[in-house]
């Protein structure tokens, strides 16, 4: 109830400040951009670069104001704000978008990509991504670009997981995505879908035994303080998505739309280096300062355990087209 009220207050503030002009330049328009990472997270840095590029390319006639740290709500809430236009742009995980457009669920299908290179090849193929990004226009938003959010691996408070059998009964947090819920079930664990901001406390209090994410969750979100085993299961490569309210985008001239799109594309390239450096640095910090153990596991039994999900996914009328599109895209390289 309290949360709902807070959400309503946030929406009201955003709507009321919607027409504000930040530069004193009467031509300037402001884009509100929301996301759930901290200021020193690599994704925040790349979003700041997006903002800088938009401002530079538009001679400051378009300003970008960033609301970080999940201050405008969980990813689900922020997607809703982007749909209504209370927020213009947001960065959310593709997994969180699954509840809004089923095509985004392909990214949560475990082991759908065999390597990061394969993932990158698909994500940089506009003939594939355009179809995914544009089709949500009728529900209020479009995709602008993606950011590398690494490979997702399992981490636990106090249990080493070396094989699928070690997953039995493991209460594991997943993103709010049905595909991720099914993945943990197929592996024998007990899935709990919850918002990212709640994971630290849930681990600490024992509501969950495990979570899964890229390495930055350990340091940037302090999960390494409570979770001491990080297993390289590599089960998902889920991109972060930059989405924009469709009306807000369409209100700009064609030239301005091109500026926003270019800035988005360039920030994705910028992000690659920022990301690799952060993973290297944060893995070291998690190891040395937090005492997290990083463990290599044989992925084969995990891959095998989730095969029924692939079969079901390929034959479900809601997901068969996107499955074929991605699989076909992989073989066209
Ligand atoms: C990643 C992703 C976030 C997401 C988080 C999660 O960190 O970049 O956008 O919220 O995973 O597990 O919820």
What the chain holds in terms of domains, given with CATH numbers, is: 2-104+115-148+239-279 (3.40.190.170), 152-237+282-331 (3.40.190.170)
Q: How far is the CA of 100 from the centre of ligand 1 (A)?
A: 17
The protein residue whose alpha carbon is closest to atom 3 in ligand 1 is 93
Distance 4 CA to ligand 1 centre (A): 22
Residue nearest to atom 6 of ligand 1 (CA): 196
Q: Give CA–CA dist 222/235, Å, rounded.
A: 22
Residues having CB closer than 6 A to ligand 1 are: 36, 75, 92-93, 149, 175, 196, 213, 217, 240
DSSP 8-class letter at 158: S
Question: 238: closest CA among 62, 111, 48?
Answer: 111
Residue with the two structure tokens 């995980």: 93
**Ligand 1, atom 9, residue with closest C-alpha:** 93
* pLDDT for residue 28: 78
Q: What is the pLDDT along the chain (333 residues), one digit of tens a residue?
A: 456 666 666 666 665 555 444 444 556 799 999 999 999 999 999 999 999 999 999 999 999 999 999 999 999 999 999 999 999 999 999 999 999 999 999 999 999 999 999 999 999 999 999 999 999 999 999 999 999 999 999 999 999 999 999 999 999 999 999 999 999 999 999 999 999 999 999 999 999 999 999 999 999 999 999 999 999 999 999 999 999 999 999 999 999 999 999 999 999 999 999 999 999 999 999 999 999 999 999 999 999 999 999 999 999 999 999 999 999 988 765
Please tell me the distance from the alpha carbon of residue 287 to that of residue 298, in angstroms, as a whole number. Answer: 21
Residue with the smallest CA separation from ligand 1 atom 13 is 196
* pTM across the whole model: 0.93
Q: Which atom of ligand 1 is nearest to the CA of 147?
A: 8
């Amino acid at each position: 109830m309290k949360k709902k009220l807070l959400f309503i207050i946030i929406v009201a503030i955003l709507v009321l400040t919607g027409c504000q002009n930040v530069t004193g330049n009467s031509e300037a328009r402001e884009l509100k951009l929301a996301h759930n990472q901290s200021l020193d997270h690599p994704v925040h840095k790349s979003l700041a670069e997006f903002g800088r590029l938009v401002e530079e390319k538009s001679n400051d006639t378009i300003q970008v104001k960033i609301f970080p740290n999940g201050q405008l709500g969980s990813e689900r809430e922020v997607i809703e704000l982007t749909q209504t236009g209370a927020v213009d742009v947001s960065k959310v995980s593709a997994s969180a978008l699954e509840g809004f457009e089923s095509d985004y669920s392909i990214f949560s299908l475990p082991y759908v990509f065999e390597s990061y290179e394969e993932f990158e090849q698909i994500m940089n193929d506009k003939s594939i991504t355009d179809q995914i990004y544009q089709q949500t226009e009728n529900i209020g938003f479009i995709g602008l670009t993606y950011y590398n959010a690494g490979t997702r691996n399992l981490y636990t408070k106090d249990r080493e997981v070396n094989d699928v059998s070690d997953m039995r009964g493991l209460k594991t947090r997943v993103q709010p995505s049905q595909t991720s819920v099914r993945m943990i079930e197929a592996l024998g664990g007990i899935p709990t879908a919850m918002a990212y901001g709640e994971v630290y406390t849930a681990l600490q209090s024992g509501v969950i035994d495990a979570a899964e994410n890229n390495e930055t969750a350990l340091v940037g979100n302090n999960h390494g303080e409570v979770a001491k085993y990080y297993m390289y299961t590599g089960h998902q490569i889920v991109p972060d998505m930059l989405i924009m309210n469709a009306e807000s985008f369409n209100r700009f001239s064609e030239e301005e739309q091109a500026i926003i799109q270019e800035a988005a594309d360039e920030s994705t390239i910028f992000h690659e280096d920022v990301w690799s450096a952060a993973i290297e640095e944060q893995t070291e910090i998690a190891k040395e300062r937090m005492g997290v153990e990083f463990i290599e596991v044989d992925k084969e039994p995990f891959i095998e355990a989730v095969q029924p999900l692939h079969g079901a996914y390929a034959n479900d009328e809601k997901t068969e087209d996107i499955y074929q599109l991605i699989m076909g895209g992989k073989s066209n390289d």
